[in-house]
Amino acid sequence: MVEVTDLHMHFGAVRALTGVSFVARDGAITGLLGANGAGKTTTLNIISGLCEPMHGSVAVDGRPAGDPFDRRRHVGALLDDKGLYPRLTARENVAYYGALRGFSGGELTRRVQRALAAVGIESLADRRTHGFSQGERMKVALARAIVHEPRNLILDEPTNGLDVPSARAFKNTLSRMREHGVCIVFSSHLIHDVSTLCDSVVIISRGRTVAHGEPEHLCRQTKCRTLEEAFLALTGHEEEATCLAG
């Protein structure tokens, strides 16, 4: 479980976050929905332990995680950069990250095998990743992010650049992980992905949380038929939200 409370973050004069709060439950996919520059990526970077907020807190699995190293240990993250080492095989790429997280010997081998199996890329495990397709690279990057079998997984627009079969396979993988009780926080600006995959949606606009709840709840709250219209209504685009205009 990830609990985010009142995150604030400035980059010089740019106020990236001005009050983001939400709770992402175990065994559920929580989608962060927002326009470009709304603050989704900054929020995910903070949860993943890449940077510290200027104000506010993050708790992981009920424990306050003030130390970014603590968050890195308990969270698996697949952020915007998903580069692999092209001269290493898929297995070696995943094993490198497993070793960096302190696993070795038979334990490391088993975890790497489980991670590769979880994303369905065992058949390519011993091929160098140079020349892998976008979808294959994404799967290896995901296996690398879950090699320590985290209870919490952070994904920043993971289906960007994937073709339809790869995106479908990726979403199926996430659904399986949800069934195993993993807490998944998923950012996207693709409403379709969020509405079909997420159990709960957090709408972020101009650096702050403006709504949080199940997609149906958000539609009822705004008297809109679709999540897209509810999103527009909640993010200050009322003129484009036909539900409110009507």
Q: How far is CA 87 from CA 96, 113, 128, in A?
A: 13, 19, 6
Residues 6+ apart with CB under 8 A from 62: 1, 3
Which one among 39, 49, 158, 215 touches another protein, defined by CB under 8 A? Answer: 49
Cβ at position 217, least distance to another protein in Å: 32
Which one among 88, 169, 210, 244 touches another protein, defined by CB under 8 A? Answer: 88
User: Which amino acid makes up residue 54?
Assistant: M
**CA max distance for the chain:** 64
**Contacting another protein within 206-245 (CB under 8 A):** none
245 token code pair: 């205009």
The torsion angle over the Cα atoms of residues 50, 54, 55 and 60, rounded to 10 degrees, is 10
User: Which amino acid makes up residue 130?
Assistant: H
CB 173 within 8 A of CB 120: yes
Count residues near another protein (CB under 8 A): 32
Distance CA 220, CA 211 (A): 12
94 scored as a contact of another protein (CB under 8 A):
no
Binding mask 145-184 for another protein (x = CB under 8 A): x---------------------------------------
12 scored as a contact of another protein (CB under 8 A):
no
In the complex with another protein, the residue whose CB is nearer, 78 or 119, is 78
Which one among 115, 119, 141, 182 touches another protein, defined by CB under 8 A? Answer: 141
45 scored as a contact of another protein (CB under 8 A):
yes
Q: Which residues bind another protein (CB under 8 A)?
A: 42, 45-46, 48-51, 69, 72-73, 77-88, 92, 96-97, 99-101, 104, 141, 144-145
